[in-house]
Amino acid sequence: MKKGDLVEDFDLPDQHGARRSLSEFLATGPVVLFFYPGAMTSGCTKESCHFRDLGAEFSGLGAQRIGISHDHVAKQRTFSDLHGFDYPLLSDPTGEIADRFGVRRRLPIGPLRTRRMTFVIGTDRRILGVIHSETDMNAHAERALEILRE
C-alpha cells in the first residue's frame, strides 16, 4: 500500500484478546499503524518503546498508535505488560493483514516474517504516508509525527 490508497477495514485481537477494528480506532482520529517483525526482539522493543515515549505528542495531534505483528495474543500481552505500552498491540498470526499492506517478507528471516513499516492513516481511511526503515528504530514514530503535522 502507498500514500493515497484506501485501507479496507479489518479486525484483529489485541493483547487482551478483544477484537478491535480499524474503523473503531479511526472514529476518534487518525491512526499510526506500525508493523514490527517480532515482539520481545531488541529492535522491535526499541521501536515500540519510542512510540510509547512519544505518546503525548501523538495524543496532542489526536492520533492513535497501534502496533501489529504476527505474534500471538499471549506474547503481545507479555510484551505490552513488560514495557508498559499505553496503546494496543494487534495479533496477526496468519499474516492476512500483513499481506494486505504488502509488508510480509517473501523469504522470512528466521522468525521475522514481517517487514518493519508504518502507515499513517487518515479518518477517511486514506494513507497519508508510509515509513519504511529496517534499521532506524526511531524514524517510524518521528516521521509519523511529521506526517500528522503536515
Burial 58-69 (b: 16+ CB within 10 A, else e): beeeebbbbbbb
**Is the pLDDT score of 69 beyond 70?**
yes
Q: Interior CA angle at 100 toward 93 and 11, to 5°?
A: 60
Average pLDDT over residues 77-98: 96
Average pLDDT over residues 73-98: 97
Of residues 5, 132, 119, the one with CA closest to residue 67: 119
**Is the pLDDT score of 142 beyond 80?**
yes
Domains held by the chain: number = 1
What CATH number is given to the structural domain containing 33?
3.40.30.10
Query: What pLDDT sits at residue 108?
Result: 58
Write out the H or E segment, with its range, that includes residue 52.
Answer: helix 42-53
Q: What mean pLDDT, rounded, does the chain reach? A: 94
- 56, 87 Cβ separation under 8 angstroms: no
Confidence category of residue 110, pLDDT binned at 50, 70, 90: low
Of residues 90, 80, 84, the one with CA closest to residue 18: 90
Domain boundaries, position 83: 5-149
Cα 97 from Cα 117, distance rounded (Å): 13
**Is the pLDDT score of 109 beyond 70?**
no
Write out the H or E segment, with its range, that includes residue 73.
Answer: helix 73-83
Any bridge partners for residue 123, and if so which? none
Average pLDDT over residues 102-115: 75
Query: Could you give the residue numbers annotated as active site?
Result: 44
**Is the pLDDT score of 49 beyond 90?**
yes
